[in-house]
Structure 1
Amino acid sequence: TFANFGLVALDVAAITIGDDVQIGPNVQLLTPTHPVEPGPRREKWESAEPITIGDNVWLGGGAIICPGVTIGENTVVGAGAVVTKDLPANVVAVGNPARVIRSLR
């Protein structure tokens, strides 16, 4: 596993990174989350959800992985993608929010 410069890993909950993962520059792994409702947010409520990254995943530069996300093995996340939901194994995902654009063999 290799992490390039500028990695931000806010590990309020567990971040599990598999073998042979490539993490591009300025990637953010964000486990903390806040309520949307104004009252609890004003009271500074915070929670966290774990992130799991499977084996042989490539996270392109500037990708943001949000709380509670699992990324399946061999998946490629394009540069600047914002991953808000789980991604299956063996796909390429890009965009904001990240969407699967193709399958890998």
Structure 2
Amino acid sequence: MTRIRVGLLPSAVMMAGTMPAPKIKDPATGEIATDRDSGENLYTVTAMLMEDGRAEIMKITVPQSGLPEGLQPGRALRPVDLFATPWARIFNGSLSDGVAYRASALELVQ
């Protein structure tokens, strides 16, 4: 799968929109997704990216060890090693597509 490194402009501001939530692998069983290499539980954080007069909402997947203490909605943050992975699938005859974001960690910005 293609992974694309995401570089943010120095003027970019990112803010947490939600508390971290476990990433669910299988909704039927409630199984939590884990990192393929480390086996660590994965979490998602919804973040708002404001850059060059526009705003985007992103869901970023982060391993549990990459979540900082004190992460709350409204806190400014910076993703570490942010990558984007485009995806597409056909479900019930309809095409769904999007971009999945993954960071090795989130850092709080003072």
TM (norm. structure 1) is: 0.27
Task: Name the larger-Rg structure.
Answer: 2
Q: Select the structure that is richer in strand.
A: 2
